[in-house]
Chain A
């Protein structure tokens, strides 16, 4: 509001401005609803006011139950009022507004119920007083501001007749009240809006917690879906392209070994095609193996990693100790981490040997890949490390790398075993 000039604020709060009337109508319309809580509580006692203990207790119980039953309609009317007059949207509370009216009685300890009670029994009455004060300010202001007309109309002998000073003072007070009423209305409106948003809508902290849980669940399902998709691609390539290529290479191999009397030129083409097909098979195999090896599902991380480690053209020390098995998605990430880290070592590290360790400590799967290479690996340099870190984060894992110049380089990844 600081950006709005004082002149503009005065204009907005003029007694004839639309905002002043909107605030006034809003504040005044709240009064009956804000007093309703106490009215419901007291209604039983107007019918019958006992003096003995037992009936008093019974009556107290009955009035409390009546109040609780009235809470939901009262709350939703308040929300309607805020929306219709201020455009203020107070979301419903799933735990409080769901189900039937008497579900409120089920859980008397629910924090939502107590916040709603606070509004209807504490904040509400106080705001209703504010609303009544605004009404009074308007009424008194109008009455006093128009006192010259009254003074002119009344008989001589009336306290106001022939007392211009009194009339002037009263008129000044009336004008002041009329000027102040919009400010009062705006103040009460602001308080009411704040109280309603805080007490009749969802609790922000709880809402955030719910949202975090919801997002975590969604993320887990996205990660799982991606994993499933990788497995599907692996299956499709295995059953399709790979078999076709093997069959092609087989036929070319057969032609190469059994055809006789073929011109040298043609034979050379066959030989080249045969070698090419075999090279394509090897490439495709390595690519698919990186996706999601079938043996991972079947025999677990330990079995799958030996294949990766064996293809690295330098000595790899592999130690895997992970009983019981982690979830398949986490295993897939751990597999990817080792596979990618080893690829990086071969590409960049100029190492003599690599040490791979995968161990489970409680609910954490820790993967360590250490090489004795040149060091100086920079995760921000756009090597495979970036993708690696991203995939680790997707399952809430942590990724650390230490790589001083001159080595050794250690990649440490910790993954929660259960998503």
Chain B
């Protein structure tokens, strides 16, 4: 799997390269700012790009904006955004383009190497990886009233679903059986009036559509 890294901290860039190469990924390019990222993606067409949100020159949301451009120009390249802080606004921007092949995680998550690499693989293969923190922000924002109808357990399931986990992943996280998870999900869809859909990222799409108040 070929990866491009955009991260302005030299130290962290080196660390990421080491982690990826040790785990059998191929790092096609590693750059320090948004312009270089776009050029590298056009040139190498990697499977995924790992992108820092705050990069030169402005140190605000350059990474998010570059990711939006990438989604338009090279839809085949998945984007995993990393940031010291996750913000629901940036998540909403990113997910408004499409929910397949996007991820948005706190930077700290790279320290849990195998979980981080799982998320990267999931994103690169067209799935979704959202940080629990950003999911809880999204849940807080929108349409509280229908959400109030969910039981606490169902809210947990919804949050895990929004992170992009499969039924098996949710079952493992909550230590329940997969059939129990399926039951919860059906109940959630019924309460939230969401259409049934196939595949993880479409579930996320459905959830986020609902959270954004567009569904």
Question: B18 contacts which chain A residues (CB < 8 A)?
Answer: 251, 254
- Residue in A242, A243, A316 with the greatest tally of chain B CB atoms within 10 Å: A243
Whether A281 contacts B108 by the Cβ 8 Å rule is: yes
State which residues 298-333 of A face B: CB under 8 Å: 298-299, 303-304, 306-307, 309-311, 316-318
State which residues 91-115 of B face A: CB under 8 Å: 106-108, 110-114
A9 at the interface (CB under 8 A from B): no
State which residues 273-287 of A face B: CB under 8 Å: 274, 277-278, 281-282, 285
B206 to chain A, nearest CB (A): 21
Binds B, one of A63-71, A90-98, A289-297: A289-297
Question: A298 contacts which chain B residues (CB < 8 A)?
Answer: 60-61
Instruction: Count A-B contacts at CB 8 Å.
Output: 109
Whether A246 contacts B54 by the Cβ 8 Å rule is: no
Whether B111 contacts A278 by the Cβ 8 Å rule is: yes
A257 at the interface (CB under 8 A from B): yes
Question: A297 contacts which chain B residues (CB < 8 A)?
Answer: 60
Contact partner of B112 (CB less than 8 A), chosen from A244, A253, A285, A306, is: A253
Whether B111 contacts A274 by the Cβ 8 Å rule is: yes
Describe B's contact surface by its main secondary structure. helix
Contact partner of A254 (CB less than 8 A), chosen from B22, B54, B139, B144, is: B22
- Residue in A239, A250, A289, A318 with the greatest tally of chain B CB atoms within 10 Å: A250
Q: A254-B19, A310-B136, A318-B140 are in contact. Are A246 and B85 (CB under 8 A)?
A: no
Whether A250 contacts B16 by the Cβ 8 Å rule is: yes
Describe A's contact surface by its main secondary structure. helix
Contact partner of B111 (CB less than 8 A), chosen from A242, A252, A285, A299, is: A252
Q: A238-B84, A244-B11, A295-B89 are in contact. Are A250 and B111 (CB under 8 A)?
A: yes
How many residues belonging to A are interface residues under a CB distance threshold of 8 Å?
A: 41
A155 at the interface (CB under 8 A from B): no
CA distance A154 to B58 in the complex (A): 104
Contact partner of B113 (CB less than 8 A), chosen from A253, A285, A294, A307, is: A253
Q: A238-B54, A294-B54, A306-B137 are in contact. Are A285 and B87 (CB under 8 A)?
A: no
B179 at the interface (CB under 8 A from A): no
A394 at the interface (CB under 8 A from B): no
CA distance A33 to B190 in the complex (A): 97
Question: B110 contacts which chain A residues (CB < 8 A)?
Answer: 246, 249-250, 253
The 8 A CB mask of B58-85 against A (1 = contact, 0 = none) is: 0111000000000000000000000011
Whether A307 contacts B85 by the Cβ 8 Å rule is: yes
A258 at the interface (CB under 8 A from B): yes
Q: A294-B54, A294-B60 are in contact. Are A309 and B140 (CB under 8 A)?
A: yes
Whether B12 contacts A317 by the Cβ 8 Å rule is: no
State which residues 205-263 of A face B: CB under 8 Å: 235, 238-239, 242-244, 246-247, 249-254, 256-258
Question: A249 contacts which chain B residues (CB < 8 A)?
Answer: 108, 110-111
B9 at the interface (CB under 8 A from A): yes
B141 at the interface (CB under 8 A from A): yes
Whether B140 contacts A254 by the Cβ 8 Å rule is: no
Question: B113 contacts which chain A residues (CB < 8 A)?
Answer: 250, 253-254, 256-257
CA distance A316 to B140 in the complex (A): 7
B32 to chain A, nearest CB (A): 12
Whether B108 contacts A306 by the Cβ 8 Å rule is: no
B184 to chain A, nearest CB (A): 20
Using CB atoms, name the residue of chain B closest to A318.
Answer: B140
Using CB atoms, name the residue of chain B closest to A317.
Answer: B144
CA distance A306 to B144 in the complex (A): 14
CA distance A250 to B140 in the complex (A): 30
B156 to chain A, nearest CB (A): 14
Q: A250-B16, A307-B87 are in contact. Are A285 and B108 (CB under 8 A)?
A: yes
Whether B11 contacts A289 by the Cβ 8 Å rule is: no
A305 to chain B, nearest CB (A): 10
Using CB atoms, name the residue of chain B closest to A282.
Answer: B108
B68 to chain A, nearest CB (A): 14
Question: B144 contacts which chain A residues (CB < 8 A)?
Answer: 317
B133 at the interface (CB under 8 A from A): yes
Question: A277 contacts which chain B residues (CB < 8 A)?
Answer: 111
CA distance A289 to B85 in the complex (A): 8
State which residues 1-50 of B face A: CB under 8 Å: 8-9, 11-12, 14-16, 18-19, 22
Question: B106 contacts which chain A residues (CB < 8 A)?
Answer: 285
Q: A295-B89, A307-B87, A316-B140 are in contact. Are A247 and B11 (CB under 8 A)?
A: yes
Whether B22 contacts A258 by the Cβ 8 Å rule is: yes
Using CB atoms, name the residue of chain A closest to B141.
Answer: A306
Whether B87 contacts A310 by the Cβ 8 Å rule is: no
- Residue in A242, A253, A299 with the greatest tally of chain B CB atoms within 10 Å: A253
Chain A interface residues (CB < 8 Å from chain B): 235, 238-239, 242-244, 246-247, 249-254, 256-258, 274, 277-278, 281-282, 285, 288-289, 293-295, 297-299, 303-304, 306-307, 309-311, 316-318
Q: Which 9 A-B pairs have the closest CB atoms?
A: A249-B111, A243-B9, A310-B137, A303-B89, A310-B136, A253-B111, A250-B15, A253-B113, A298-B60
15 contacting pairs across A/B (C-beta < 8 A):
A246-B107, A247-B11, A250-B12, A253-B111, A254-B113, A257-B114, A274-B111, A277-B111, A285-B84, A285-B108, A303-B89, A304-B87, A306-B87, A306-B89, A311-B133
